Structure 1
Amino acid sequence: MARAQLLQIFSSMQDAETGQRGYVITGRVSYLEPYDSAARALGAELPRLKALYRDNPEQAANLAWLETLIARKQATMRAGILAHDTQGREAGLDAVSNGAGKAAMDDIRVAVDRMVAVDAQALSDVTRRADARSRMTERLVAGVFLLLIAVVASSGFLVWRYVRTRRVLLDAVQATAARQTAIFDSAIDAILTLNPSGSIETLNTAATRMFGWTAPELGRRDVSVLMDLAGDGETAFLTRIGANREDFEQGVVRELTARRRDGTTFPVDVALSPMTLPTGVHLVAVIRDISERRRVEEMKQQFVSTVSHELRTPLTSIAGSLGLLVGGAGGVLPEKAGRLIGIAHSNSQRLVRLINDILDVEKIESGQMTLDLASLDLRDIALLSLDSVRGLADSLGVSLTLSEGAEAPVSGDADRLVQVVVNLLSNAAKFSPSGGVVEVSVVPEARIARLSVRDHGPGIPDAFRARIFTKFAQADGSDTRQRGGTGLGLAIAREIAERHGGRLWFESTPGEGATFHLDLPLAMGVSDSVPGTGPRLLIVEDDPDAAEVLRVMLEQDGFEAHVVATARGALDVVRQERYAAVLVDLQLPDADGIGLIRALRGHAATRDLPVVVVSADVAGGKARGRLLEVLDWLEKPFDQSRLRSAVASILDRLETRRPSILHVDDDPDILQVTASTLAGVAEMSGAGSLADARRALAIARPDLVILDLGLPDGSGLELLKELGDDAGGSIPVVVYSAQEMDAALGERVEAVLVKSRTSLAHLARTVRRLTHKDVRN
């Protein structure tokens, strides 16, 4: 048994040496399979042999020497492989042929022979002692012989198995490569692989068709031969297309001008993505010819131009002439002719509205809609709109009423606001029953003027609510719908409202009608604040229109608002000047807004600066900045009342009074220590249970709640839903608990601090930030 183990060890060493030499000589990784297999076999065989020689001191000593020789041989083999991998084939061959490996192998052979001889001598002694039992000895020898045959057969089977497995794996690799090549060459878009400098490495069949070059002709040439790029081939490719490494890792898409072999050019979209290879990170460029898309866009522009210039003018004349005839300007018409003229006039007006809607949508999508802002009364807008819709309402048997109310001065484009209200009124009239009433009201509130249009029709179906403000949306989209319309009016109306810094929204109960509300900022003079004389706010927003709306509205509320368009600019100004708060957009041209907030929190001078996020990606921002202290997250288009609420809370934080804080914790020691820590910051009150907290909230509303989750009569999270008010606001909450909080609930609290991980100083600093009190202990 021991001899067989020795022979197996020696055979494994020979396999390892053969695999190592084959790899160094050929460079083929497949030769390392026997090398690795032998290494694993040695790891299993040596412990078994050591167990066999546990009671044989002589052989145990020989085995220790054999292990030393095997380790030395393995070191020489690894050195040869390392030399081949790091210095090349010649260095690997030199390492293999330097004699050290052969000498180690010879020593192993001698050691194995010695151990085999010792075993043989032991066997001879046993044979002499067992001479009387020769027949048993013969059977033992026969068994040993059979064992040797089994070992040889097993070795042959393993070799066959290895060869077969290697063949199967090679076939699989070849099949995969063939599939990938077929996919690569069958793609419709051109696909190029580039090195980081922009040199072309490979291209598919579509690229050959698109550019007129063959793969051998373009190999190793700079990609500028195919596309117009800034700089030259000495500049990194990403730099030449105006991208950085961070952009590239997420994928880069650029619209460039490509060049065929014959010199003709055409527009393309180029999508770049990284491709990690053993030699480093390379680039994959997917190129799509967008000539047809450009042609369609030009056709669209021509169509819009035709609609605008060639159809609008004659339709205006037609509709106007028909209107004069209907009004009796041409004399009294026969009854039948009057009906026909009325039908023509109604449908011409419908066609004019359709054309205007299409043009307005195009203006919105291209960013060309402009507003001629002026001071006006929202009640006057309502009166003008009622006059415009009264004819339609009369034809439908619907009456329009405007309730009495005070003036509601706003700043806006009168024509566009009339367009919004006319759309709301015409929809309300069309969906009202015959004999129904459409009620209009204009009410100036604290910071907004609200115009409401209420009908008593069927209401808005639940399934339609989510898409009511989308383009071409209609509750009844069938060809047989009873009420006309393009489905564009509400989408345009909401866009106009938002460009005025306002909001268009609705309330509806199916079967009981619907009420649409237009909220606009009250103009200067309604607010008690004098614009530009109050606390200074910084607006970080790269969209000039959105920034201007925010600035005007904040100045009307008594703030002095400054605007910067980049994160770098924001960091520069906050280090030079003091601001009461910052409004941050998350999509900035030079950085992520979350990174800007972190930078503000990391600087001593701005650590406690209140931040309000105003962005189109609030959900993503909350996921990335869940633990940042942000006063409020407002999603574009923002709810103006909510923004004003956030701004009002900034004013509250700037007041001199100490905020009141309710600390809910069942540990009296924590209550006492926390109260001592915050003694100079706030007026503290404590509650040891949910019941105590509810009684405290019934008596007085605190400015902040510090909440423990593990309370004797339930979870502190049960209290969250009770911390709101009738106006939709909520008391800020800091979770300070030994329990971990579910991340999904993090949006409902201002900060999550874990006991034992968070010091009381950190808790105090968090409270100061949330209450904006720079009071030192």
Structure 2
Amino acid sequence: MPEARGSAGAASSARPRVLPPLVLDDLPDGIVVTDGDGAIADLNVAAERLLDRPRADLLGTPLRRALPLQDTSGRRWWDVLLDTARRPVGVSEDGHGERLLLLPGGTELLVTARFHRDETGTLLRAVLALRTPDERRRAETDTASLIATVAHELRSPLTSVKQFTASLLRRWDRFSDDQKRLMLSTVQADADRVSRLVGDLLDVARVDAGRLTVHRRPMDLATLVREHVDRLRFAGYDDERFELTVDADLPELWADPDRMAQVVTNLVDNAVRHGAGTVAVGVSAETAPDGGSWIVLTVEDNGEGVPVENRPYVFSKFWHGGTRSGTGLGLYVTRGLVEAHGGDVDVDAAPTGGARFTVRLPAGEPVATVA
């Protein structure tokens, strides 16, 4: 492999970009492309930033010199790779998955490599993806937080279920029918709580993987909201706690009724638990920026509201504001469900000073039925 490729200026003027700048430079990871001799043929802005050198200085430079990476055993990564990754005739593409490698001085990079070869197995080019371990650490932190949150949320209902069922099994004849009914009702409520948590976790996984599927059909959002508010009233909340406003002649909404029930439940129950005073729920229509129509769901409360500085984080995983309890997953799932319908959701201040959540959903029959 040659160690010199001419001056950087000559290389910069002679070598066209492998991909248009707007393609490479829009990628969040650093991308480095080499030719068959291992010299850098192209790179993007993210790679320049990671390597702390301008593109003009790097073009034509041998990769082993521009990126003197070593594995955790101290072996030079590029040389070891070339020595051990010889491919038989007929293999056109190979490489390796993400590996943690070190630059001189101990700087860590996560490197993914793909090699493209001709029919004889000769290397034509290599494409490397580079990123710092920060994203992986954030993912590991999220995973640890999720495990801790789930363990905390499961402990209380499962302990309750275990205690009540153990008491019933040991002393069934000593309890009155009313006592048995109360204990079994508590067990059922705790089982429902666990079921909701499991459902949220499954939806979080689908949102994260981009596999959240919705099955749209014509539905009446106003009726769904009324039914949920009625259930809360039947559960013991005062009628005066709720204020429902529905516009007449709403346009048709195509949405997944089960998924929209989750959205309504999450937002209204959130306002009931964490807000104060009247919970005002509205369903209306407004004109969309493209000239179409939105169906708009608003949920307001008279509580402490959400401070302006916290609003960008409300729909993040594990967000809790003030004295709020729970998993911190409900609003994250809500945003995923709304966006899967092609809509958006935001939070601002209600006229009464509490929080106002606004969901906008495109009206009319959608072009596609799967988000």
Q: TM-score, normalised by structure 1?
A: 0.28
2:259 aligns with 416
Alignment partner, residue 504 of structure 1: 345
For the residue of structure 2 that corresponds to 1:445, the secondary structure is strand
Post-superposition shift, 1:221? 7.8
User: Partners in 2 of 1:378 and 1:494 — Cα distance?
Assistant: 17
Distance 1:431 1:363 in 2: 27
Compared CA separation, residues 355 and 389, structure 1 to 2 (3 A) = farther
- AA matched with 2:304: P
Q: Distance in 2 between matches of 1:458 and 1:378?
A: 28
Match of 1:399 among 241, 256, 264: 241
What amino acid maps onto 2:190 in structure 1?
N
Q: TM-score, normalised by structure 2?
A: 0.54
Equivalent pair of 2:301/2:355 in contact (CA under 8 Å): yes
- Structure 2 unaligned residues grouped into runs of 5+: 1-33, 39-61, 101-108, 114-125, 166-174, 288-292
Partner residue, 2:271: 428
RMSD: 4.9
Please report how far the alpha carbon of residue 229 of structure 1 lies from its aligned counterpart in structure 2 after TM superposition.
10
- Partner AA of 1:459 in structure 2: G
* Partner SS state of residue 225, structure 2: helix
Partner of 2:363: 522
Alpha-carbon distance in 2 for matches of 1:397, 1:485: 25
Are 1:373 and 2:216 matched, yes or no? yes
Greater CA radius of gyration, 1 or 2?
1
| Alpha-carbon separation, structure 2, partners of 1:427 and 1:505 | 14
Pairwise CA distance, 1:510: 9.3
Counterparts in 2 of 1:391 and 1:475: CA distance versus 1, 3 Å = farther
- Give the whole-Å Cα distance in 2 for the aligned partners of 1:368 and 1:492: 13
Following TM superposition, by how much is the alpha carbon of 1:502 offset from its aligned partner in structure 2, in angstroms? 1.2
Instruction: Please name the residue that 1:346 is paired with.
Output: 189
* Of 448, 466, 470, the match for 2:294: 448
Q: Quote the Cα distance in structure 2 between the aligned partners of 1:475 and 1:404.
A: 30
Matched, 1:383 2:226: yes
Which of residues 351, 354, 368 in structure 2 aligns to 1:513?
Answer: 354
Q: How far did 1:507 drift?
A: 2.9
Give the drift of 1:432.
Answer: 3.5
Q: CA 1:512–1:257 in 2, change beyond 3 Å: closer, same or farther?
A: closer
Give the CA deviation at 1:445. Answer: 3.0
Contact 2:271–2:301 (Cα < 8 Å) also in 1:
yes
Work out the CA distance in 1 between the residues paired with 2:273 and 2:188: 18
Cα distance in 2 for residues equivalent to 1:421 and 1:339: 28
Distance 1:201-1:457 versus aligned 2 partners, 3 A rule: closer
CA deviations over 1:340-372 (Å, ceiling 9, x no partner): 444433333222222211111001111221110
In 2, Cα distance between the equivalents of 1:398 and 1:493? 26
Structure 1 222/356 Cα, relative in aligned 2: closer, same or farther at 3 Å?
Answer: closer
Matched, 1:223 2:82: yes
Cα gap change, 1:195 to 1:362, in 2 (>3 Å): same
2:199 to 356, 377, 384: 356
Match of 2:306? Answer: 460
Are 1:504 and 1:518, in contact at CA under 8 Å, matched by a contact in 2?
Answer: yes
Amino-acid identity (%): 28
- Which residue is 1:23 aligned to? none
Q: Matches of residues 26-105 of structure 1 in structure 2 within 5 Å?
A: none
Q: State the distance in 1 between where 2:302 and 2:245 align.
A: 16
Say whether the 8 Å CA contact 2:301–2:350 is kept in structure 1: no
- Once the 2 structures are TM-superposed, how far is the Cα of residue 514 of structure 1 from its aligned partner? 2.2
Query: d(CA) in 2 for partners of 1:286 and 1:522?
Result: 41
**Deviation of the 1:209 alpha carbon:** 3.5
* Distance across 1 between alignment mates of 2:200 and 2:221: 23
The 1:430–1:257 alpha-carbon spacing in structure 2 relative to 1, beyond 3 Å, is closer
Structure 1 CA distance for aligned equivalents of residues 78 and 299 of structure 2 = 68
Task: Describe the shift of the 1:425–1:286 C-alpha distance in structure 2 as closer, same or farther (beyond 3 A).
Answer: closer
State the one-letter code of the partner of 2:311: R
Shift of 1:271: 5.4
Say whether the 8 Å CA contact 2:350–2:356 is kept in structure 1. Answer: no
Q: Deviations over 1:194-224 (max 9, x none)?
A: 98524996898954848xxx77xx9978727
What's the offset of the Cα at 1:406?
2.1
Q: What does 1:308-327 align with in structure 2 at a 5 Å threshold?
A: none
Q: How does 1:276-355 map to 2 (within 5 A)?
A: 334-355=177-198
Note the 1:99-248 alignment, pairs <5 A.
Answer: 197-198=37-38, 207=71, 209=73, 223=82, 225-226=84-85
- For structure 1, the 5+ residue unaligned runs are 1-193, 243-253, 259-267, 273-282, 323-331, 525-548, 554-777
Do 1:200 and 1:222's aligned partners in 2 also have CA atoms closer than 8 Å?
no
Residue deviations 1:358-408 (CA, integer Å, cap 9, x gap): 11100111122111011112212223433454455x258973343343253
Cα deviation 1:540-587 (Å, max 9, x = unaligned)? xxxxxxxxx7x669xxxxxxxxxxxxxxxxxxxxxxxxxxxxxxxxxx
Q: CA, structure 1 residues 487+201, in 2 after alignment: closer, same or farther (shift >3 Å)?
A: closer
Q: Secondary structure at the match of 2:283?
A: strand
Question: Cα deviations across residues 32-82 of structure 1 (Å, max 9, x unaligned)?
Answer: xxxxxxxxxxxxxxxxxxxxxxxxxxxxxxxxxxxxxxxxxxxxxxxxxxx
Taking the aligned partners of 2:246 and 2:228, their CA distance within structure 1 comes to 16
1:270 counterpart SS class: strand
Preserved CA contact (<8 Å) 1:410 1:522: yes
Helix, strand or coil: the match of 2:258?
helix
Secondary structure of the residue aligned to 2:205 is: helix
TM-fit CA distance, 1:226:
3.6
Question: CA deviation digits over 1:271-295, x for unaligned, max 9?
Answer: 58xxxxxxxxxx998999x9xx8xx
In the TM superposition, residue 517 of structure 1 has moved relative to its aligned partner by: 1.7
Question: Is 1:459–1:508's contact at 8 Å kept on the other side of the alignment?
Answer: yes
Q: What does residue 469 of structure 1 align with?
A: 315
* C-alpha contact (below 8 Å) 1:451/1:518 kept by paired residues: yes
Q: Contact 1:384–1:418 at 8 Å: present in 2 too?
A: no
Conserved? CA contact 2:218–2:254, under 8 Å: yes
Q: Which AA in structure 1 matches 2:346?
A: W
Relative contact order (alpha carbons < 8 A, sep ≥ 6): 1 or 2 greater? 2
C-alpha separation in 1, matches of 2:98 and 2:340: 32
Distance across 1 between alignment mates of 2:37 and 2:261:
57
CA contact (8 A) 1:507 1:516 kept: yes
- The answer (yes or no) to whether the contact 1:452–1:517 under 8 Å persists in 2 is yes
Contact 2:305 2:349 in 1 (8 A): yes
Q: Which residue of 2 aligns with 1:165?
A: none
User: For the residues of structure 2 that align with 1:375 and 1:269, how far apart are their CA atoms?
Assistant: 47
Which residue type is aligned with residue 439 of structure 1? A
Counterparts in 2 of 1:284 and 1:341: CA distance versus 1, 3 Å: closer
Structure-2 separation of matches of 1:359 and 1:219: 41
